[in-house]
Amino acid sequence: MRSSEMTLALSAAGVVLLAACGGSTSPYGGGGGGGGTRPASCASSGASATITATGSFTFSPSTATITAGQSVCWVNNSGIPHTVTSDDARFTGGSLPTGSTLVVTFPAAGSYAFHCSIHPPPTYNMTGTITVSP
Ligand SMILES: [Cu+2]
């Protein structure tokens, strides 16, 4: 009994430490840890890729490939709000009302998965990945 309680306590402490580390710095530009700017349109944003949140609960296209330092612009072209939320919570656009945009700059190479937190998997298919090459 005692030993299993101790294991649980240690696991909880580990989670807290990991969360603290992850939140200390953000590699994302364009608004810091909260993530992103909101230009009037993706066309005028200077972003290298555009992803549309659709009324059929998808991101189209669901993937984009850019190089480090470039930006991705999301636009909500549906009649309902969506979010652009990093799977590891490193950026979020909050709620995007119809017609609104979000631009996030990715300074570092890597693979960045995202989803809509209003319509999350597995119920919906609102997921995607940004691939950032060096
Ligand atoms: Cu959504």
pLDDT at 19 (0 to 100): 37
Residues in CB range of 46: below 8 A, 6 or more apart? 71
Distance in Å, CA 7 to ligand 1 centroid: 38
Distance in Å, CA 116 to ligand 1 centroid: 5
Residue 117 tokens, joined: 């937190």
Contact, 42 vs 102, CB < 8 A? no
Distance in Å, CA 101 to ligand 1 centroid: 14
pLDDT at 35 (0 to 100): 66
Tell me the one-letter amino acid at 30.
G
Distance in Å, CA 79 to ligand 1 centroid: 10
Residue 77 tokens, joined: 């072209």
Contact, 129 vs 112, CB < 8 A? yes
**Got the DSSP string for 6-71?**
HHHHHHHHHHHHHHHHHTT----BSSGGG--B--S-STTTT-SEEEEE-TTS-EESSEEEEETT-E
Distance in Å, CA 76 to ligand 1 centroid: 9
pLDDT at 8 (0 to 100): 43
Let me know how many helices (H) and strands (E) the chain has, helices first.
1, 9
pLDDT at 9 (0 to 100): 41
pTM of the model: 0.74
- Which residue segments constitute the domains of the chain, with CATH numbers given? 49-133 (2.60.40.420)
Per-residue pLDDT of the chain (134 residues; tens, 9 = 90+): 444 444 444 433 333 333 333 333 334 443 334 568 888 899 999 999 999 999 999 999 999 999 999 999 999 999 999 999 999 877 777 789 999 999 999 999 999 999 999 999 999 999 999 999 99
Distance in Å, CA 3 to ligand 1 centroid: 44
Count other C-beta atoms under 10 Å from residue 95's C-beta: 14
Distance in Å, CA 11 to ligand 1 centroid: 33
Distance in Å, CA 126 to ligand 1 centroid: 6
By the 10 Å C-beta count (0-12 exposed, 13-18 middle, 19+ buried), 59 is classed as buried
Distance in Å, CA 9 to ligand 1 centroid: 36
